[in-house]
Structure 1
Amino acid sequence: MVWFDARDELEELFRKIIEKNISINKITHEKNEILIDLLWGLIWPLIIGLPILTVIIYGVVYLTSSSITKLQKAITDRSPNSLEKIEVSGLPKEISPLLNELNSLLSRVKVSVEHEKRFTADAAHELRTPLAAIKAQAEVIRLEKVLEPAAFDNLIESCDRASRLIEQLLALSRVETSVSTFEKDDLSISEFIAQQIAYAYPQIDAKSQVIEYDDSGKYRVRANKTLLEILFRNILDNAIRYSPPKGKINVSLNQKGSHVFLSIEDSGPGLTQDQVNKLGIRFQRFGQVDSYGSGLGWSIIQKISEVEGLDVHLSMSVELSGLCVSIRFS
């Protein structure tokens, strides 16, 4: 607007000069007036606008720093043991993502700490039984005048159970608390299963059981070898444990479409639907025929299946009338 007014005044001045209707002094006077009006038109918006702009900037900085101060106070006032989400309202949208990421980190830390606490509590609780048995058998051996082989057998069995329990607890803790991704290997599942059966054969032979392995092809899958070994050994151990002496276990591999399926069938009593629903509850045992099991097997199986992206399905074995565990590899 200032420039338009100055332009009109300049045009009027030039017209008067051309028509010689104005003196030199008058030209100088009107020129100075035009310059003064032009400068004043430029300066007064700054005089008014700068204080307003200063107030606006101060308000924005104050509100932002106030939000950061509230966030700082919320963090400072927290107990070192508190891992709950930080709740601060009215944060600017630029700071909200930072708080969301911080809360996400706290949630992950909380889960990890809870796993560690549960692991410690479970270990302390479950190790009491085998350790008490070991102590009792040691006291019997000390008091007996004649050392009976049965006493040593019971002592060895208690040691084996404690060792098995520690092994299972450590396996479960490793899978649950791992923060890194387990690398997958290109694995010959056919050779892998044959090797695992060979490792377990002394247990099978001790119960005079029969195991059949049907490998109709040389299949390969992508899986973490260590985790798959823990998973398969737990399923096979359950099949051996729950199948009766001279019972039968079938292990088979086959492919349907792009998926490889591993099935383990046993001749045990199987599971009711209610028992299937309770699988994964720690230290839960169903009609255990020996004291060797830890009750952690299915917790480990379910967690590894989740980590590896495996689909585990339970059903009744048509041939053996026991439990059939089917694993689908993705």
Structure 2
Amino acid sequence: MYSKSKNILFISLVSILTSLVVVTMSYLLVRSIVINTARRNAVMILREMERVKLHELPPGIFRRIPTSVFLLQNRRVEVLYDALDISNKLDFSQLKDKSFINVAGETMFTAVINTPKGVVAFIQPGENMLNILKKTAFAFFWVWLVSTGIILASAYANYRRTVKSFRELIEKAKEISTKMEGFLPEKGLDSNTARFISALNEMIKRLRASIEEEKRFAANAAHELKTPLANIIGYTSMLLRWGLKDEAVAEKSLSAINVTAKKLNELVSKLLLLSSPMTSLKHERTNVCNFVKAVLNEYKSLFPAYQFQIECRENPVFDLPKEALEIVVKVFLDNAVKYSPENGVISVVVESNRLGVSSMGPEILEEYHDKIFEPFFRLETDREGHGLGLAIAKNVASRFSWKLSVESKEGMNTFWVIFN
């Protein structure tokens, strides 16, 4: 909007200056035509005079316009014809420099022509010619004044429209900030402003989507927290009512509270990890194959009922944060353990720019390939968990411009992390 106002002002100034230049050039052109025409007439007269000799001027040659003619030879001045009777009043030093001179208070036009015999000066009354030029200048001045007025009026009208559009944008922005609905109008704006408003609308759209996502996240988090808290409250009530007298009830309640509190602590830890910016993690030169082998050795001890395998098709070394890679790999492995049958094979594949974890399990339909990375999303086949693991992996990956994807077919799922 500011750019449009600035452009209008700039174009108006350029138009005014251009019209001034055009008017000035037009006046100078007319002046040149008038003066050159008079000089051409003088040249024609001079040729006629030379034909009959300078001192034998034909009678009536200056009948139309009274003229004085002088021959200047070095410092000597010879009067050839003096119909104006100005030979005693004229300052001959002015003749070579000016088209108009003042002789005894009267304006005279001069045309100076070089000849073999010397300089011939023609002098005629210049009032009429000067009046013509003044009227021409006055006419051109009015043309410029009117055109400037039109330009300024047009610029002011455009400015008013711009200010009106700007005010409408401000009012709409206030409405959006209050009601959190609608978008800024893009019609009736110049191209640069329209692109800027379009970018703002895209930002508003993303902000709304983010706000809606946060609302869903808060609602889901509250729902997930509500169940364990309800269990703790229930067992606490049981303790208060019977547990102090019944040792078995007390032991059962305390054990249940302990298990629930651990799950609650795990859930809170995942929520904190999900919102963590990961800014404090240090990058290290990491051999991905060796790193994954160390993680698999840990899982072989924790889950001896599963078969863990690794295939290093390449041996990439990246400068990356090991903690972030560990989180992503362990989320993939935890999912594989959760959905694979006992004695199932869990394979890790390392390639030049990506790492994949494959396991047996139910097919994930393509329509869920993006949704499974959203917080609290769970498939119908999910037996346990909060639906946060893959969301945490995606959050960690996005911090370092990694990409996550899934390939699925009946009986086999492969989760990939792609390093950029």
Alignment deviations for residues 192-246 of structure 1 (CA, whole Å, 9 cap, x no partner): 32454466667x34xx4345242546432465655444332222221222345x5
Distance 2:367 2:197 in 1: 43
- Partner residue of 1:11? 40
* Equivalent of 1:72 in 167, 173, 192: 167
Distance 1:154 1:105 in 2: 47
Structure 2 counterpart SS, 1:233:
helix
The 5 Å alignment of 1:229-240 reads: 229-240=326-337
- Partner residue of 2:259? 157
Distance 1:153 1:266 in 2: 34
* Equivalent of 2:201 in 103, 119, 126: 103
Structure 1 or 2: more strand by fraction: 2
C-alpha RMSD of matched pairs (Å): 3.8
> RCO (CA 8 Å, sep 6+): is it higher in 1 or 2?
1
Distance 2:387 2:33 in 1: 90
- Partner residue of 1:252? 348
CA contact (8 A) 2:406 2:413 kept: no
- Partner residue of 2:247? 146
Distance 1:235 1:314 in 2: 13
* Equivalent of 2:187 in 86, 89, 92: 89
- Tell me, yes or no, if structure 1 residue 271 matches structure 2 residue 366: no
Deviation at 1:8, TM superposition (A): 0.8
The 5 Å alignment of 1:1-330 reads: 1-2=29-30, 3-13=32-42, 15-16=44-45, 19=49, 21=62, 22-23=67-68, 25=84, 28=109, 30-77=125-172, 78-79=174-175, 80-81=177-178, 82=180, 84-142=182-240, 143-144=242-243, 145-147=246-248, 149-173=251-275, 187-197=286-296, 204-205=302-303, 208-214=304-310, 216=312, 218-221=315-318, 225=322, 227-244=324-341, 247-255=343-351, 259-267=352-360, 269-271=361-363, 273=365, 279-280=372-373, 282-289=376-383, 291=384, 293-301=385-393, 308-310=401-403, 312-315=405-408, 323-330=413-420
Distance 1:122 1:71, change over 3 A: farther
Q: Which moved more, 1:59-68 or 1:147-156?
A: 147-156
- Partner residue of 2:97? none
Structure 1 counterpart SS, 2:363:
coil
Structure 1 counterpart SS, 2:335:
helix
Deviation at 1:161, TM superposition (A): 2.7
CA contact (8 A) 1:83 1:107 kept: no
Alignment deviations for residues 79-111 of structure 1 (CA, whole Å, 9 cap, x no partner): 324264201421233533432343343334333
Q: Which moved more, 1:114-123 or 1:143-152?
A: 143-152
Structure 1 or 2: more helix by fraction: 1
Distance 2:327 2:321 in 1: 10
Deviation at 1:130, TM superposition (A): 1.7
Distance 2:252 2:343 in 1: 26
Structure 1 counterpart SS, 2:233:
helix
Deviation at 1:146, TM superposition (A): 0.9
CA contact (8 A) 1:316 1:322 kept: yes
| TM-score, normalisation: structure 2 | 0.61
Q: Which moved more, 1:103-112 or 1:54-63?
A: 103-112
* Structure 1: gaps (5+ residues): none
| TM-score, normalisation: structure 1 | 0.75
Deviation at 1:125, TM superposition (A): 2.4
Structure 1 counterpart SS, 2:308:
strand
Deviation at 1:47, TM superposition (A): 1.1
Structure 2 counterpart SS, 1:85:
coil
Letter in 1 for 2:127: N
Runs of 4+ aligned residues of structure 1 deviating over 6 Å after TM superposition are 182-185
Which structure is larger by alpha-carbon Rg, 1 or 2? 2
Distance 2:191 2:368 in 1: 47
Deviation at 1:75, TM superposition (A): 2.0
Deviation at 1:120, TM superposition (A): 2.0
